[in-house]
Amino acid sequence: MKGYVFHGPGQSSWEDVPDPAVKEPTDAIVRIDAVTICGTDLHILKGDVPEVRPGTVLGHEAVGEIVETGADVRTVRPGDRVLVSCITACGRCAYCRRAMYGQCRGGGGWILGHLIDGTQAEYVRVPYADLSVHPLPAALPDQDAVLLADIFPTAYEVGVLNGQVRPGDTVAVVGAGPVGLAAVATARLFSPERILAVDPAAARRDAARRLGAHAVAAPAEAPEQLTADLTDGLGADVVIEAVGLPETFELCTRMVRPGGHVANVGVHGSPATLHLEDLWIKNVTLTTGLVDTHSTPTLLRMASAGLLPTADLVTHTFPVEHMAQAYEVFAGAADTGALKVVLKRHLHEQLPSTA
């Protein structure tokens, strides 16, 4: 089969790789029907996630069909259409027993496209299939469902729930990529008074407005001053970091009000300064986290009921073999206007050109 292989920082290609096979009785093999690219994949290609070994197939988000299951898989069968979660869960370890699947000690956690071959391929082996794929309602199209593999649970759990967004809050989201935009959309479920989104890319600021941000700013437009102006000088109740740079983390800690929350979502490749000389007196709660995907079943029900703006986040669709081009379009979002790019199996037979 073909897959998108990481060959070290800045080097990757769509190429022949061995077909995956069931190795453990708890494995399933999934034929990929829709797959997408995450900001985290861009971090991997920048060299920010050094544990990804050259030779690994990237990707940790997908929708597909089960084609084979190991002898111990109970809840899915060949022919089932499933969401492949970015998080794999053994279901038995101390962390899985607390629904902290991201920290699974039994060989799960974030492993796809990280520690083992991932979903940017024609097929993928999913360990612990019973707890790591979700059967999909027929009404939910592939390209909507694929956003629930990572970005919606990440924005909701690591941003909105960790940040403890409440009715009437001022919420600031730094970084309006797909994760930041999903944070805007899921923060709205809690009726905040206002949401401010910060991003250097005009197209992403526009998208934030469409998804419900009340105010937007570029990082060069003094977002901390804007936050202060909007809140009588207090600062934001909740600030969600969805970029992964030292300067954006530090900006978040300047935008938060005393007693507020900074919820870090971004994957960081280098140290950021924690300005305790300013923060010690502000009673600030800082959270970090890898997504657990404990919210995925809830989010799937909400998406099926039309309560999540999944369709608004997909701007480009490609046949899966155009993976390298899709990476260029996603990484060049400031120029291409890309939000989420979705790659589909056999799309070239359906569509003569890319959207």
DSSP structural state of residue 218: -
Interaction of residue 286 with ligand NAD, rule CB under 6 A:
no
Segments of 192-301 assigned E as strands: 194-198, 215-217, 236-241, 256-264, 285-287
Task: Tell me the residue type at 199.
Answer: D
Which segment (35-43, 120-128, 255-263, 307-315) binds ligand NAD by CB under 6 A? 35-43
Cβ proximity to Zn ion, 188 vs 294, nearer residue? 294
- CB 26 within 8 Å of CB 104: no
DSSP structural state of residue 109: B
Task: Rule CB under 6 A: choose which of 118, 127, 177, 235 binds ligand NAD.
Answer: 177
Please state the three-class secondary structure of 300-327 as a single string. HHHHHCCCCCHHHHEEEEEEHHHHHHHH
Would you mind telling me the total number of residues written for the chain in this entry? 355
Task: Rule CB under 6 A: choose which of 217, 265, 303, 341 binds ligand NAD.
Answer: 265
* Of residues 187, 194, 183, the one with CA closest to residue 216: 194
Looking from the CA of 264 toward its CB, the CA atoms found within 13 Å total: 21
Question: Tokens representing 104?
Answer: 């699974």
Q: How many residues bind Zn ion (CB under 5 A)?
A: 6
Cβ proximity to ligand NAD, 141 vs 200, nearer residue? 200
Interaction of residue 300 with Zn ion, rule CB under 5 A:
no
Angle ∠(26,32,35) on CA atoms, nearest 5: 115
Task: Rule CB under 6 A: choose which of 3, 20, 39, 260 binds ligand NAD.
Answer: 39
Segments of 115-189 assigned E as strands: 123-126, 133-135, 170-174
* Of residues 83, 70, 1, the one with CA closest to residue 35: 83
Task: Rule CB under 6 A: choose which of 52, 133, 148, 290 binds ligand NAD.
Answer: 290
Interaction of residue 337 with ligand NAD, rule CB under 6 A:
no
Cβ proximity to ligand NAD, 76 vs 333, nearer residue? 333
Cβ proximity to Zn ion, 102 vs 244, nearer residue? 102
Interaction of residue 180 with ligand NAD, rule CB under 6 A:
yes
Interaction of residue 17 with Zn ion, rule CB under 5 A:
no
Residues 132-161 that bind ligand NAD (CB under 6 A): 150, 154, 158
List of residues contacting Zn ion (CB under 5 A): 90, 93, 96, 104, 106, 108
Query: Rule CB under 6 A: which residues touch ligand NAD?
Result: 38-40, 42-43, 150, 154, 158, 174-180, 198-201, 204, 219, 242-245, 247-248, 265-267, 289-291, 333
